[in-house]
Amino acid sequence: MDWNKYHPIFKPEEFTCRCGCGANRMQTHHMDMLFKARAIAGIPFVITSGFRCRDHNRRVGGSRNSDHLGGYGSDIRCNDSGTRWALVDALIQAGFRRIGITASFVHAGNDPANPQDVIWTY
């Protein structure tokens, strides 16, 4: 993947597995959509989770078919309702069809192997 096209908005380190294994297999299509969503929202996206290896996904309680495992998922920090609205609105406009919502982050997913047109809460 050419990370230069996302610079300075996103850096590869933000999406690298947090366990320290160094894995980062984010999908170009996902990153293109996320970049578009960031432009639509007009606010910074602080990535709290990107790619996850299977071990790390298991340790953090991720689902067996998590979007993160294939490089199709990103969690974006969000601590207030206005930011949450801006994120969800921008993600939908950018074409994301898998959105998860918590009090502290919004999940943007687009794994084609998982159910589409879904929004869930944790």
Cα–Cα distances in Å, from 97 out to 21, 54, 109? 29, 23, 7
The answer to the question of residue 31 being in a domain is yes
The distance of Cα 92 from the centroid of its chain, to the nearest Å, equals 13
Q: How many domains does the chain have?
A: 1
The answer to the question of residue 97 being in a domain is yes
Which residue range(s) make up the domain with 92?
Answer: 3-66+81-102+116-121
pTM confidence score: 0.96
In tens, the pLDDT along 5-51 reads: 999 999 999 999 999 999 999 999 999 999 999 999 999 999 999 99
How many residues can be counted in the chain? 122
Q: Measured between alpha carbons, how far is 4 from 58 in angstroms, rounded to an integer?
A: 31
Sign of CA dihedral 1, 12, 44, 58: positive
The answer to the question of residue 109 being in a domain is no
Q: Tell me 17's DSSP state.
A: -
In tens, the pLDDT along 55-73 reads: 999 999 999 999 999 999 9
